[in-house]
Structure 1
Amino acid sequence: MELISPNREYMEAFQRFYNDYANNDVANAEYYLEGVQNFERYIQTLNDESNGVNLKEDYVPCHHYWLVNPEKEIIGVIRVRHNIETPFLALEGGHIGYDVAPNFRGQGHGTTMLKLALPKACQLGIHKALITADEDNIASRTVIERNGGQLDKIVQGIVFPYPIARYWVECCGAKP
């Protein structure tokens, strides 16, 4: 398993990743729809976000990575935001967000993906990352806790109006 930057070589793998969402997690498939509608533009948008270029309103620079296996399947995606200097990110979004493809959930890939991303966050100057999960998302909370996450508190979300668990995770002591 390795984290890679999104790139054009994975167009077919991304289509399979999206189809997995479309067939098994319809509520979250829309987050990846742009990638199948215009893959070239999608990759450019992700690269622009990494460089802080052409950001949408209330967006911050953000590195995107794909967790791929030896078969070159996209197992999951993880986003490392360079800062949390917006009200949404500071309260409920956090520095790092991730998704594991439905067919690969429950196999420890989220834990691996976050472990690999923490040193990348450190390289961006993030020593402690805020990572959040829905309070009732035990799988995601377990991923965070297995990577040393310390529960800060449960807050009521504003953009997503339900209880959210906020964790702080040391980034610079993590080894990939």
Structure 2
Amino acid sequence: MELVSPSLELESAFLAMYRDFADKDVDNSEYYSECETSFSSYVQRLSDESKGINLREGYVPCSHFWLVDSHGNIIGAIRVRHNIENEFLSLEAGHIGYDIAPSFRGRGYGKQILKLALIEAKALGINRALVTADEDNYASRKVIEANGGELENIVMGKVFPNLLARYWIRCE
């Protein structure tokens, strides 16, 4: 398993991951739907975000990575935001957001992808990362806690009005 930056060479594997989401987790598939229209534009946008180029309103520089197994399957995707200097990020989204493809859930990949992303966060100069999960998403909360997450509080989201568990993790 390794984290890799998005690339055109992984188009078929990424589209397979996207279809897995579209079939089994429609709500979360929306985040990746742009890949169907133009995969090359999608990968370019992710690359630009990592460099802070052409950021959409409310966005901050953000490095994107895909967790790839030895067979070339993309198991999940993770985002490491370089800062959380706006209200939405500092309250709701945090430094790191991740998704494991539905067909690969429950196998420990969430713990692995977050562990690898914390190394990337440290390399970006982030010493403590804010990671959030829906209050009732116990699987994600276990992933965060397994990586040293310390619960700060439970808050009501403003952009997405649901209860969120906010954790801080030391990036070591």
TM bracket, shorter-chain basis: over 0.9
Structure 1 stretches of 4+ moved >6 Å: none
SS in structure 1 at match of 2:15: helix
2:9 corresponds to which letter in structure 1? Answer: E
Summarize deviations over 1:26-48 as a string: whole Å, max 9, x none.
11111111112100000000000
Count of residue pairs brought into register by the alignment: 172
For 2:37 and 2:103, the matched residues in 1 are separated by 22
Per the alignment, residue 11 of structure 1 pairs with 11
Per the alignment, residue 113 of structure 2 pairs with 113
Summarize deviations over 1:136-166 as a string: whole Å, max 9, x none.
0000000000000000000010011011000
Whether 2:122 is the aligned partner of 1:122: answer: yes
For 2:139 and 2:122, the matched residues in 1 are separated by 24
SS in structure 2 at match of 1:85: coil
Where structure 1 has 5 or more consecutive residues not aligned to the other structure, the ranges are none
Q: What is the TM-score normalised by the length of structure 1?
A: 0.97
SS in structure 2 at match of 1:40: helix
Per the alignment, residue 91 of structure 1 pairs with 91
* Same amino acid, percent of matched pairs: 60
Aligned pairs for 1:5-44 (under 5 A) are 5-44=5-44
Q: What is the TM-score normalised by the length of structure 2?
A: 0.99
Summarize deviations over 1:78-104 as a string: whole Å, max 9, x none.
000000001000001100000000000
Aligned pairs for 1:26-175 (under 5 A) are 26-171=26-171, 173=172
SS in structure 1 at match of 2:33: helix
For 2:136 and 2:107, the matched residues in 1 are separated by 19
1:65 corresponds to which letter in structure 2? Answer: F
